[in-house]
């Protein structure tokens, strides 16, 4: 089955079929996610925190995103792959912004891009759309603004703030965004947006009324024991499993029980006489 097109994904949302998105950052987990039937994979700038050891997404570069997006695209055939545009890759002027969005598709093979921004970014969305670059817009909590926000607080908790988010959604839809990612807002706000727009909404920490949901892969798999956001759903506890496996390997090496003959290569007759005997 080929990768789902944007019209296909939009039609499924219109029919009320929930869409499933998961982050992916490398070929191994991207292949597993696709085999599990995940509809589309977000190569998120969260890679900075999940894989690269940064305290936030801010240090992630465009080259980082291209590198990881290529790996996800190479490993998949059936999932729609979205490349996140990282901090400062679209803030220096629309020409540079459109160029970086185009690089995600041309150099990394992404099928669409995602950026964080509200109504003031409508012209950027239109320029990308006119250039043939599909855009998912990310509204509500925008992690790239964590320095200004003092962390990652929920957004839209007052009537005025909720109205601003709704206005952002309507403006971005009108500008050509093919979908909206709604992060960490009251479920009533996400529900109102989903009912007002004619494009899919993908929620994270925004309740059950969106067209679909996205989660960070590491949260779903329980790979980080130090961090468990309230909105996450943990379906495994792989941190313990992986740690135990590594510890068992270390014990076997130190006890000289690994490797055994089963993991070793024998030379056979071709190595007879090696090493040469002293004469």
Q: Single out the residue of 58, 38, 34, 36 nearest to residue 46, CA to CA.
A: 58
Other CB atoms within a 10 A radius of the CB of residue 230 amount to 7
At 19 the three-state DSSP class reads: strand
| Token digits of residue 257 | 């029980």
Sign of CA dihedral 167, 172, 174, 179: negative
183 tagged catalytic: yes
Catalytic residue among 107, 183, 195, 272: 183
Q: In the structure, how many helices (H) and strands (E) does the chain have?
A: 11, 8
Q: Which residues contact 28 (CB under 8 A, 6 or more apart)?
A: 75
| Token digits of residue 23 | 């982050």
- φ, ψ of residue 190 in degrees (nearest 5): -60, -40
| Token digits of residue 58 | 């801010």
Other CB atoms within a 10 A radius of the CB of residue 148 amount to 7
Cα–chain center distance at 238: 19
Judge residue 248's burial from the number of C-beta atoms within 10 Å of its C-beta, 0-12 exposed, 13-18 middle, 19 or more buried.
exposed
Active-site positions read 183
């Amino acid at each position: 089955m080929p990768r789902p097109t944007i019209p296909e994904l939009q039609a499924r949302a219109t029919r009320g079929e929930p869409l499933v998105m998961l982050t992916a950052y490398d070929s191994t987990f991207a292949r597993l996610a696709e085999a599990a039937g995940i509809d589309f994979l977000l190569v998120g700038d969260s890679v900075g925190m999940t894989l690269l050891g940064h305290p936030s997404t801010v240090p992630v570069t465009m080259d980082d995103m291209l590198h990881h997006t290529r790996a996800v695209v190479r490993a998949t055939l059936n999932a729609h792959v979205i490349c996140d545009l990282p901090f400062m890759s679209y803030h220096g002027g629309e020409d540079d912004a459109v160029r970086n969005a185009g690089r995600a598709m041309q150099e990394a093979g992404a099928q669409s891009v995602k950026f964080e921004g509200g109504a003031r970014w409508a012209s950027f969305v239109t320029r990308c759309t006119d250039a043939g670059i599909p855009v998912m817009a990310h509204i509500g909590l925008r992690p790239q603004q964590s320095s200004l926000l003092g962390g990652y607080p929920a957004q839209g908790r007052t009537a005025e703030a909720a109205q601003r988010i709704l206005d952002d959604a309507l403006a971005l839809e009108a500008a050509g965004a093919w979908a909206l990612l709604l992060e960490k807002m009251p479920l009533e706000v996400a529900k109102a947006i989903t009912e007002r727009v004619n494009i899919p909404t993908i929620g994270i920490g925004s309740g059950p009324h969106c067209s679909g949901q996205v989660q960070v892969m590491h949260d779903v798999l329980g790979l980080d024991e130090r961090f468990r956001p309230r909105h996450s759903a943990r379906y495994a506890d792989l941190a313990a499993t992986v740690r135990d496996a590594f510890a068992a390997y270390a014990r076997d090496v130190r006890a000289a029980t690994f490797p055994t003959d089963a993991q070793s290569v024998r030379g056979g007759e071709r190595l007879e006489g090696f090493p040469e005997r002293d004469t």
